[in-house]
Every structure is written in C-alpha cells, then in structure tokens.
A and B are shown apart, each in its own frame.
Chain A
Amino acid sequence: MKTPLSAWDKVQISRHVQRPRTLDYIRVLCEDYFEFHGDRRFADDAAIVAGVGRIDGQSVVIIGHQKGRDTRENMRRNFGMPKPEGYRKAMRLFHHAEKFALPVICLIDTPGADPSMESESRGQGNAIAENILIMAQLRTPIVSLVIGEGGSGGALAIGVTDRILMLEHSVYSVAAPEASAAILWRDSSKAPDAAKTMRITAQDLKDMNIIDAIIPEPEGGAHNDADATIRRAGVAIMHNIDALNALPTSVLLDQRYQKYRVMGAIKTMPTNQSSNGEPLSFL
C-alpha cells in the first residue's frame, strides 16, 4: 500500500523541474509545427508559446504556458507568468484558429499572471478578460489540458474550453497556494494548508464537476515517463477534438455556454426584501 499523495505533494509534483512542459508536448505530439511570435502590438512574451502544428494528420493551433528548467530560461520565460502581450499573442492565435477553422489545444502551466507595474500599465486584467470573452464565442473546438499548475486568471486566460482535462497530479486553483494563504491568512508559509483547504487537485475538480477527465500519470509523476504521459494525453486530447469536430458550430457554442452557465454553488431562500431594518432569519 502506498500512502496517498497530499494536495501539497501534488503541488510539488506539478512544479517538478523535470515535469514535461508545453514545448515537450509539441515535440512529442506534432508531426510538424511552427511557433509564431508576438502580439503585433507591443512584444513577444516567452511565457506563452503559440503556434500551428499537425497531430494525427489534423492541423491544430497549440497555445501553452512555458516555464523554464534553469534560472536563465526561467528569467526569460518569467517563470511561466504571462504579461498582457502574452495573452494578446494567444488572442491573435484564437482569431487565427477561427479564421482557418482549426481546433485549438491549450496547455495550462502557470503560477498566475505576471504581477508587475508594467503588466498593470498595459492592462493585465483587460487582457485576461478579453481572452475569456473571445474563447466564450470562438467558432471552433477548443480543448485544454492542465499539465502542471493552473493558477487563477492567469490560467483561465487560455482555459475557457469545450473540454477541460487535467493530468493526475496537476492542480488548478483560484490563486496559487502561497497567494491564497497570503490573502486569507496573511501568511504565505501556510501554503500547504491552503492547498488542502481549497481543493485544488484534479480529483477535487472532477468531484466538483468542473473538469471532464483526468489523465493518469506514472508513479511519482509525469517526469518519470514523460513521453508515455504525453502520448496518453495526446490521445485523449485528439479523441475530444474529433468528437467536438463532429458538432455543428451552433451546438458547440450552446454546449460551451451551458457548460459554464451551471458552474457555481448556490441555493434559493425566501426573497430578502431589503438590506434595511432588522436582520432576517438566515437558516
């Protein structure tokens, strides 16, 4: 009997330096591939890799966060934290996919969007929001796979998709565990507690009906057999794209609307007339 992995163990695995990243997936899965660069407005952001390739004979747009494996590459790729120009490069590729009727694959692996003065000045919130709006209406199938960390709006900016898949030891959260602990308890060292309390593992998200499927990993994590994990993920992604390709666009868009429309935890109570006067009974 193995001890089950804790949420914090999974956070560690999801951040493992040898864990396969977006460019590894592209290398293993694509028969042909070209990376495109820049948002045509300001710069090229290396924290997001975007391009067009072919998998199983099908041309696809692939967009993913990219972390580095050493300090130098991590500096260049900003630890996988995109700036507005990164999201706007993704936006350009979303439009590109729609124009040429290509399905889109998004690979999610970010601690979150870049929090800096320059990103704020160039509209980080707006860049994420615009992408969410564009994916909501995109007239082509779009599938995402969380390959590592799915951190907050920074992940969602390429994550509003017809199908959401997660690797077994990946995580997806409203804010990275350190940030969650800092916001909730003003103590980022409580990150392991936040990881547990906030239910961020693939299994948690499947239980909450937020994601569609979990891709198994080898014992100890994807890095122990990267190629096999990537191929297994590739099969699942292309299987979903085939199914979505068969749908008329109007059905595809209606299903996407419904998928997100029902997300949330609410109940109905007797209508609260006003916030004035004496407190109501909130049973």
Chain B
Amino acid sequence: MKELFRRAPKAFTPGEQTRDQGTPDNMWVKCPSCGDLTYHKQLRDNLKVCKCGHHMRLSAVEWQGLFDSESFTEEDGDIAPLDPLNFVSPKDNYAQKLRDSQLQTGLYDAMISGYASIMGQALQVTITEFDFIGGSMGSVFGEKIARAAERAYERRVPLLTINASGGARMHEGVLALMQLPKVNLTLARLGTIGMPHISLMTDPCYGGVLASYASVADIIIAEPGARIGFAGRRVIEQTIRQKLPANFQSAEFMLEHGMIDMVVPRNDLRSTLGRLFKLYTMRDADASPLPADV
C-alpha cells in the first residue's frame, strides 16, 4: 500500500496533451475518485495517477509515451468514418456528432494505430481515444484493428491493444456489430504464427470490445480499478432491480473471477510489457518463430 503514496519513478512520459493544457482552468486537476486537487505538472509526472491510487484516463496521444521515445509511427491515419445509416434522429445526428468529435480530438475516429517499440521490442499497437464518442467501436475502429493485426502477421511482431471503450458504435448499426467478427478473424490469423496479442484494459471496457478482441487476447492486463463488463451496470441494476456491490465489474473483481491475467499499476506497465514480450519473441537462443498452421 505504501508504494502508492510514494512519488513514483518516471517509467514513461505521457505524450503531448490533445487539448490545450496550461490554460488557468486546468492547472489544478480534481481527482474524480477522492476529490483532491493536484497540480497538473505533478499529475503528469505521476502518469496521471492520483495520490489516492486512482488511475485517470489517458488520451490516445498521451498513451504514446508508453513506447520507446520517438518509436511510435502512426499508420492508417487516413481512414475516416462515413454515416452509412444516414443516422438522423430528433435528439442526435451522427454526421454532426462526428464533426464535433473530430474537431474536439483532431482525430477522424476513436482509434490511433501504428508501430512502435517497447524496450527495444518492435510491436504493432492500437490505442482507443475515449473522448471520441466514448471510444465506441465503429467501422474505422474495426478496420484499424484488423489492419494492425494483419500488419503484425506480415511483420511477425506482437500486437498490443490499449483499450477504453463503451462498446459498439450505435450510430453505425449492424455494420458496427460486424466489426466484432472482422477483428477476431484477423486475430485468429495472427495466432497461427505464434505472435501474442496483449490486451491492456483501461477504464472502461464494455460491450463490443469485450465481446470481441479484448477478452480473447493471449494475455489480458487491466489497470487498477478499471471497469470491465459486457452489460453496463445500469442495465443489470434495472434487470435485477437491486444495487450491485461497489467492486462489481472492477479489474480486481474480474481478476478474482478468472477473467483477466493481472492487474498492473500504470507505473509498472512499461517494464511489465517489455519483459512479457521478450518471453515470447526470444523463446530460445535461435528465437525462431513457430511454423505457420501448426
């Protein structure tokens, strides 16, 4: 417990902020868990983990600091969403929602992907951007993961997915749902060459991401306190008409129920991932990959 309160060694530096920090309003950041204010520089130095241990959400760009410096190169940044259903309702309009989110985040959709290295190990990576319509999984999201898995297959490198998502993108209807099999087909192929997929579940991971790639990774790591589930808490409470226990669907709950491999604090992530990937990519002195189609 003590180590939570110690100022942690700098394991990795979060990348640049998406939106302008430094404006007077967000010099001090309030922890959504304990309510304490922390000076934003200090918070960033501590990887946005509050003194109370609460792991605040990182943007996709901030996550890029996890990789070896200058090692991240974005790929498939040219893929942008359409409005396949011409989704217009009295309360919302998908085309407008996309434009607003694009302006807010500078991204076309809720996902950044590319290649990078961690402790010298080359890998393919995908990072969700939760601020883009709740990190929801639509066609662009699915396409980027599928391409990342295909590139990992071609390059014979591991795949790391960094996940925070509320589930499927409702505004793309069944096309969003069909991203689940699309992604899993590419992951199944990656599995045939013996390259691991590590899924990092950050807060929150729900619905479509859980029911597709995030929960069938070879190794599943969650951040402390991350909420992970298929059905949302509100839906379950409405169904059973009673309050759920506070720790229900937490990373720790999922660990206890055998659904994830480990809960790793953010400060230890970089070294954990580096050591893990080495176990699979340097299996013996010759480090020869497994033959295909075993």
**Which A residues are closer than 8 A to B by beta carbons?**
113, 115-117, 119-126, 128-130, 132-133, 135-137, 152-153, 156-157, 160, 172-175, 179-180, 182-185, 193, 197-200, 205, 208, 210, 256-257, 260-261, 263-277, 279-280, 282
Contacts and interface: CB of A to CB of B under 8 A. Distances in A.
B279 to A, nearest CB: 23
B34 interface: no
Interface stretch (B5-13, B37-45, B82-90, B264-272): B82-90
Given A264-B178, A269-B79, A282-B99, 6 more contacts: A116-B236, A117-B240, A120-B248, A133-B187, A175-B170, A197-B89
A120 B184 contact: no
Contact of A208 (B105, B174, B230): B174
B216 A126 contact: yes
Contacts of B17: 276
B28 interface: no
Contacts of A268: 78-80
B143 interface: yes
B259 interface: yes
B230 A124 contact: yes
B210 interface: yes
Given A266-B79, A275-B129, A282-B102, A174 B173 contact: yes
Interface residues of B, number: 79
B108 A156 contact: no
Interface in B188-233: 188-189, 207-208, 210-216, 229-231
B18 A115 contact: no
A199 B176 CA distance: 12
B174 A260 contact: no
B262 interface: no
A193 B239 CA distance: 23
Contact of B175 (A156, A263, A280, A282): A263
A118 B268 CA distance: 32
Nearest to B210: A125
A241 to B, nearest CB: 20
Contact of A174 (B108, B174, B182): B174
Contact of A124 (B108, B112, B231): B231
B276 interface: no
A264 B76 CA distance: 15
Given A179-B235, A184-B89, A116 B257 contact: no
A234 B208 CA distance: 31
Contacts of B161: none
Ordered nearest first, which 10 A-B pairs have the shortest CB separation? A264-B139, A125-B210, A115-B231, A265-B84, A125-B230, A275-B106, A124-B230, A153-B211, A128-B211, A263-B178
Contacts of B102: 279-280, 282
A192 to B, nearest CB: 12
23 contacts: A128-B230, A129-B215, A129-B216, A132-B181, A133-B216, A135-B181, A152-B168, A156-B181, A174-B168, A179-B235, A182-B235, A199-B85, A208-B174, A210-B175, A210-B178, A263-B182, A264-B140, A265-B82, A265-B84, A265-B175, A267-B82, A277-B106, A279-B106
Interface in B66-83: 74, 77-83
Given A153-B207, A275-B60, A275-B106, A136 B175 contact: no
A208 B244 contact: no
Contacts of B146: 261
A173 B171 CA distance: 11
Interface string B151-194: 00000000000000000101111111111111011111100000
Contacts of B142: 264
B91 interface: yes
A276 B16 contact: yes
A156 to B, nearest CB: 6
Nearest to A120: B229
B168 to A, nearest CB: 5
B249 interface: yes
A266 B16 CA distance: 28
A115 B239 contact: yes
Nearest to B109: A266
Given A174-B177, A200-B174, A113 B230 contact: yes
Contacts of B184: 129, 132-133, 136, 160
A116 B57 CA distance: 27
Nearest to A118: B240
Question: Which residue among A199, A210, A264, A282 has the maximum number of chain B CB atoms within 10 Å of its CB?
Answer: A264
